[in-house]
Structure 1
């Protein structure tokens, strides 16, 4: 028995449709695999970038803390040096006052001599 021309055409059409569907399915699977592989690669790269940024941020914060601590230490040393200088100046001033009280004539003579010398130096 021979197939009718319509039946033969239908079979050819069905085979063609089946091949088209199979080809489309293979393309979809290949595309899905390529997208999945790309997603994994991008996620790994994003994870590395995120870890690098976190590490750099932690290091920058640690450096900022060290700088702040050092600035605090230097500020405290500066305050101590200032207070020491004020104390030393006060002690010298008190010694000068005591000397003037004990020896007023010599103090006036020294002041006149220093004034005369300073005047000579500034005149030139």
Structure 2
């Protein structure tokens, strides 16, 4: 009987070791599968973040270029308006120098008319 008990114990030990080996293999497979899934998800997230960053950088670049363009246009419009105002002022000065009496008469008439309009 001792040999039968020892044989059964050896068989039980062998089955336990085989079961333990299967559990270890299943656990390793599950961990490897989970690692792969996590790595794939991380790659997708990283790819999405890179795309979003690229889009944001592109939008910021376009906004900066547009702002610079608008600023340049504004400067050009300001310079043009100042040139036009200087030209009109120079014409007015020339007119006053050429016809001082008429200039004073026009100024008095414009002042009187403006006073009448603003009085109401």
Deviations 1:16-70 (A, max 9, x none): 1111111011011011111111111111111111111101111111111111111
Aligned to 2:72: 76
Matches within 5 A, 1:109-120: 109-120=105-116
1:34 aligned to 30, 37, 46, which one?
30
* Equivalent in the alignment of 1:47: 43
Residues in 2 aligned to 1:27 and 1:117: alpha-carbon distance in whole angstroms? 105
Structure 1, unpaired ranges of 5+:
none
- Large movers: runs of 4+ above 4 Å: none
Matching of residues 1-124 of structure 1 within 5 Å? 5-124=1-120
RMSD: 1.0
Q: Distance in 1 between matches of 2:34 and 2:90?
A: 83
Q: Which runs of 5+ in 2 are unaligned?
A: none
Q: Paired residues, what number?
A: 120
